[in-house]
Structure 1
Amino acid sequence: MNKQDEIERVKRQELELALPAFDEAVAFAIGTAIRERALAEGLSLVVDLRTFDRQLFFAATPGTNLDNTEWVRRKINVVRRFQRSSYRMVLERGEEPLPPQNGVDPADYVIAGGGFPIRVPGAGIIGTLTISGLPGRSDHGVAVDALCDHLGKARADYALPEPAK
């Protein structure tokens, strides 16, 4: 799969992995499932689910630290400002800091995978599901897997292919 095909796959993920509703109960269900997976697989990660005005779920597994929480904050800012997953930004722009012309401070924005937009039909993008602790592509994959599981969709239909070695 070439880069443009990956971008199209991520756009499809963003559109089709919309939640029919998003509230505290949905955030708890998704966040808890991610935390349980992380513990079962020995993954060190932070998970955050929120609307843009309020955090609804947060968990950190062993091996994470304050840096992970800061990466989450910066990824959330990218999703909110650019209305797309932070991993799509990586694919479209690379992982270089945003140029000053964008009017953003690198201390507050990071181009790295793991921030995924929470979309609700009729409302648009209202928040984020954000993961930090793994390589960015894997952070993104954890978010996509969790949304697929929650929505009853096959992970394989939305997963990105394994990167070439």
Structure 2
Amino acid sequence: MADQPELLADVAELETQLAELRFESLSHEDALALGMDLAARAEERNWPLAVSVFLGDQHVFRYACPGTSSENDDWIERKRKTVYKFQEPSFLVGQRLISQGKHFHTETGLDQSFAAHGGGFPLFVGDEFVGAVIASGVPQQDDHAIVVEALRAALDGE
């Protein structure tokens, strides 16, 4: 059996983020603004980040900062599939299982086209799941943190 991955985050904190980071409404224009803000935050840090925003099955925003590659696109798709399956942040899905001493693929039976790594976050309008915002390119806890930062800014009207 493979070595157990490292627990990188407080699962309760990740669950709180999921409960709190919800919109009252979310238009295509809002999704565009969220994606642009996330990309700008990455560029300010000189991070090689790829960013995507999905509403339903539609890919409404995509940007790749310098230093990214098609591998980041693959990670975005794997994280998107995990967010859509569980309607939870991809980081939360993975960290919850790690905290229980379990492995994502073994426990879920899902193939390698799914990834329970940080960077994918569901978009909710109230209790309705409507899409996802996803980042890939830096360590997974940083992918997650910058997405949460951009979501908080969007919800605070910054």
Aligned counterparts, 1:19-34, within 5 A? 19-34=23-38
The structure 1 segments of at least 4 consecutive aligned residues displaced by more than 6 Å after TM superposition are none
Identity of aligned residues (%): 28
> Which ranges of structure 1 fall in alignment gaps of 5 or more residues?
155-165
Q: Distance in 2 between matches of 1:111 and 1:120?
A: 23
Q: Give ranges in structure 2 of 5+ residues lacking alignment.
A: 1-6
Residue 15 of structure 1 contacts residue 119 of structure 1 at CA under 8 Å; is this kept in 2? no
- Which residue is equivalent to 2:66? 62
Shift of 1:153: 8.0
Structure 1: how far apart are the matches of 2:59 and 2:18? 20
**CA shift for structure 1 position 23:** 2.1
* Coordinate RMSD, CA, aligned: 2.0
* Contact 2:94–2:104 (Cα < 8 Å) also in 1: no
**Residue 134 of structure 2: SS of its match in structure 1?**
strand
Q: How do 1:49-128 residues align onto structure 2 when only pairs under 5 Å count?
A: 49-94=53-98, 96-99=103-106, 102-106=108-112, 108-122=113-127, 124-128=128-132
Q: Secondary structure at the match of 2:17?
A: helix
Query: TM-score, with normalisation over the residues of structure 1?
Result: 0.82
Alpha-carbon deviation of 1:29?
0.6
TM-score of the pair, normalised by structure 2: 0.86
Instruction: Supply the distance in 1 between the matched residues of 2:12 and 2:44 (Cα, whole angstroms).
Output: 31
Match of 1:144 in 2: 148
